[in-house]
Amino acid sequence: MSDRYQRGMTVRREVLGDTHVDRAEFLKTEFDEPFQDLITNAAWGTVWASDGISRRERSMLTLALLAATGNFEEIPMHIRATSRTGASKQDVQEAFQHVAIYAGVPKANHALKLARQTYAEMEAEEKPYETS
């Protein structure tokens, strides 16, 4: 494995968490292994590994781009990652407001809905034994 791949796997684990990456690795097949290698090298080993901007800023950009392009499936994963990148709920709200203005209100509205649901799930996971 290349140094970039190793760095990519390290950064991927730091941002997404071991549980997510372990699950992705366990579910990896011969069919999707080339794709997994590509994202580990390019997305995680190059883009996310760069120190040109902070991980907080990178989270905000990623969430805004996912929403603006209508790639909603990955928004919950990247909302969960904000707990490790330092992007706050307010940061996410600001990013989605930019989406509303520059890419469309419906996209931002759907992204906010997904973020709200994911934050609620994260809060419930933090307090599994509390009842109302």
**Where does residue 107 rank: exposed (0-12), middle (13-18), buried (19+ CB within 10 A)?**
buried
Instruction: Enter the tokens of residue 59.
Output: 């989270």
- pLDDT, average across residues 9-28: 96
Once rounded to an integer, what is the mean pLDDT over residues 32-36? 95
- 125, 85 Cβ separation under 8 angstroms: no
Ordered alpha helix ranges (H), the chain: 3-16, 18-27, 33-38, 55-68, 75-85, 89-102, 105-126
Is-contact 82 93, C-beta < 8 A?
A: no
- The neighbour count for residue 40, using CB atoms within 10 Å, is 24
Rounded Cα gap, residues 85 and 56, in angstroms: 5
Nearest-angstrom CA–CA distance, 131 and 3:
47
| Number of Cα atoms under 13 Å in the Cβ half of residue 101 | 5
Q: What is the mean pLDDT of the chain?
A: 95
The pTM of the full predicted model, rounded to 2 decimals, is 0.91
- Say if CB 55 and CB 97 are below 8 A apart: no
Q: What is the pLDDT of residues 49-105, one digit of tens each?
A: 999 999 999 999 999 999 999 999 999 999 999 999 999 999 999 999 999 999 999
